[in-house]
């Protein structure tokens, strides 16, 4: 047991980490979520079909050669794991400045055949429009988007099935408690789009009077605001409907939730 190195080691300025078994790397794994919209085959304008998907890459090397895995890579000594994750995300998808967040460490012994690897897991939320250009550029055989059902049915490399499920649970919770839904929406969106995105990530989210609560209650006033043009007229969109719908955008307001009030 090499616990308490810093307390039970002999007192020495010449601390030498090489005396101990040390990790064989500090990998990051990034669960990249996106929501794809596919137009339903109808003559009239309709809301698209949306699906939550995760980006996976096909491994070309041992270990788990040929298996699908979460994108990621090894952290350098000169960067933080957060910087590493952002770098890997950019390399994999070409996007920057998206919502990326650390959520857990995976450190089960033998989770990686290459050695003692404690993985730092992140999730990222990427808008499909930002992802689409990269999709074409990549080798389609090696990068793929999969629905949650598809991914859950696959045998991913390492403990990536577990990481994916944990990430999914996390974003489901955050989807309704924070404003991260904005990552899956254009800056200006309609209430239906917002509602659809929420339902796509959290299937059992249901609010029958959603439009009223979001637009005409004090407590939620401030999360989103109506978009108006310079003349102060409401801006509308009819991209999904005959009747034009009011456009909204998220504000910077961060609501405080509490189980006690």
Partner DNA sequence: CCAATAGTGTCTATGAGACACTATCAG
Partner DNA sequence: CTGATAGTGTCTCATAGACACTATTGG
Tell me how far, at minimum, the Cβ of 126 lies from DNA, in Å: 24
Q: Which two tokens stand for residue 233?
A: 């007229």
- C-alpha to C-alpha distance for 104 and 166, rounded to whole angstroms: 9
Residues that bind DNA (CB under 7 A): 42-47, 190-192, 207-209, 211-213, 215-219, 221, 236, 238, 240-246, 261
Residue 121, CA distances (Å) to 25, 96, 167, 225 in order: 14, 18, 8, 34
CB of 127 or CB of 215, closer to DNA: 215
26 binds, among a second copy, DNA, none (CB under 5 to 8 A by kind): a second copy
- C-alpha to C-alpha distance for 130 and 92, rounded to whole angstroms: 12
Residues 157/69, Cβ–Cβ less than 8 Å: yes
Q: Judged by CB under 8 A, how many residues of this single chain contact a second copy?
A: 69
Cα 247 vs. chain centroid, distance in angstroms? 25
Tell me how far, at minimum, the Cβ of 177 lies from a second copy, in Å: 5
Contacts with a second copy in 94-133 (CB under 8 A)? 102, 104-105, 107-109, 114-116, 118, 120
The yes or no reply on residue 161 touching a second copy (CB under 8 A) is: no
Element (H, E) at 54: strand 49-58
The pattern of x and - marking residues 58 through 97 that bind a second copy according to CB under 8 A reads -xxxxx---------xxxxxxxxxx-x--xx--x------
230 binds, among DNA, a second copy, none (CB under 5 to 8 A by kind): none
Residues 250/193, Cβ–Cβ less than 8 Å: no
Q: Which of 79, 91, 142, 207 is catalytic?
A: 142
- C-alpha to C-alpha distance for 14 and 122, rounded to whole angstroms: 35
Tell me how far, at minimum, the Cβ of 119 lies from a second copy, in Å: 11
Q: Is 142 a catalytic residue?
A: yes
Tell me how far, at minimum, the Cβ of 6 lies from a second copy, in Å: 6
CB of 233 or CB of 252, closer to a second copy: 252
Q: Which two tokens stand for residue 207?
A: 């609010």
CA torsion 174→178→180→182, rounded to 10°? 140
Phi-psi region of 48 (alpha: psi -120 to 50; beta: other; left: phi over 0): beta
Tell me how far, at minimum, the Cβ of 96 lies from DNA, in Å: 31
11 binds, among DNA, a second copy, none (CB under 5 to 8 A by kind): a second copy
Residues 115/130, Cβ–Cβ less than 8 Å: no
| Cis peptide leading into residue 103 (ω within 30°) | no
Q: Which residues bind a second copy (CB under 8 A)?
A: 1-7, 9, 11-13, 15, 17, 20-26, 59-63, 73-82, 84, 87-88, 91, 102, 104-105, 107-109, 114-116, 118, 120, 176-179, 198, 205, 207, 210, 213-214, 220, 223, 255-261
Positions marked catalytic: 142
């Amino acid at each position: 047991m090499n616990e308490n190195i810093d307390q039970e080691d002999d007192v020495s300025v010449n601390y030498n980490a090489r005396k101990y078994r040390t990790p064989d790397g500090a990998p990051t794994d990034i669960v990249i979520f996106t929501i794809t919209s596919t137009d339903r085959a109808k003559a009239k304008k309709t809301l698209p079909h949306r699906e939550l998907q995760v980006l996976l890459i096909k491994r070309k090397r041992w270990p788990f050669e040929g298996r699908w895995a979460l994108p990621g890579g090894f952290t350098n000594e000169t960067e933080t794991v957060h910087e590493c994750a952002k770098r890997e995300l950019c390399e994999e998808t070409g996007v920057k400045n998206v919502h990326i967040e650390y959520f857990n460490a995976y450190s089960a012994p033998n989770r990686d055949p290459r050695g003692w690897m404690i993985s730092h897991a992140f999730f990222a939320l990427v808008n499909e429009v930002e992802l689409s250009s990269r999709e074409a550029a990549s080798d389609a055989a090696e990068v793929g988007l999969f629905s949650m059902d598809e991914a859950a049915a696959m045998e991913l490399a390492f403990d990536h099935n577990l990481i994916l499920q944990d990430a999914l649970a996390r974003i489901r919770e955050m989807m309704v408690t924070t404003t991260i839904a904005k990552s899956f929406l254009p800056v200006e969106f309609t209430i239906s789009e917002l509602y659809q995105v929420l339902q796509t990530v959290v299937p059992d989210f249901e609010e029958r009077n959603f439009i009223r609560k979001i637009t005409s209650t004090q407590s939620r006033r401030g999360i989103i605001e109506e978009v108006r043009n310079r003349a102060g007229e409401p801006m509308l969109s009819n991209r999904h409907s005959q009747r034009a719908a009011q456009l909204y955008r998220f504000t910077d307001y961060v609501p405080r939730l509490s189980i006690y009030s």
